[in-house]
Structure 1
């Protein structure tokens, strides 16, 4: 496994070693020892989540606040998504900046998003099955979010915004300036 730190400190793109032959392929998608060595800290995942969405569905940008903050390890089991993380750590050099990566079933890449970040994704293929591990349990009272089209963030979703399918809840999320503080 190869761990590539992004411009956002603590966010990593993870490229697994994939062994292919005429039968198909094999890869280790998660190994706690390898993972912790690769990111340089201990993480204990407690919950796995999976979603299925069609082309144009944008989920996010979501986060959990305070003691309920979550780190996530995300990947795509089927299809293709544009995955986005936004740095919300108030003392970070990259506060308000984002990182995006294309995750596909074919490239098998994973994206580690530590606590202190908002996260979202847009489905680029006809359908996608998205899978992620969390290091903390979901808590409704601690949820926060950012509006996908915040002009301060200026996220390039690689799709015309009028083609996006967004939940009513996500359409009314606040801008970065008005968002619930993460800590």
Structure 2
């Protein structure tokens, strides 16, 4: 029964997030403080109370201890309206790499692993910014040899969120030809 109560707090927080999803980051920040903060405060008080009654080595006791130990991370979404309440977005982004990790055994050195991580980061950031990763990489490979990489303003124009990128690297809306 107590586990269901704990889950109910989480469900309340996610219901609030669903209602706020279309707001601006500033408005979402304000509304989270108004709506989610009290739920989190109630949840924390409930966790502290439950900790006194739960056996520390039981699954429930361990879950309570884990939640209390991660409390700062749980509250992080309140600090900025651009932050998500969970990490599902990042989990979905890395899933293809987790599934394919056996295919990338060639990255058997720290240098190879760092190079792979950079490439994956560029590809996923391009996707999240509405770019075609292949076309974006092609664009970068054509431009980077001819620019001053020590000039931050030049590099800024090549970043995935730059409005200066050509339409040829942007994804077309579904149904467009």
Question: Which structure has the bigger radius of gyration?
Answer: 2
Q: Tell which has more relative contact order, 1 or 2 (C-alpha 8 A, sep 6+).
A: 1
Per the normalisation by structure 2, the TM-score is 0.21
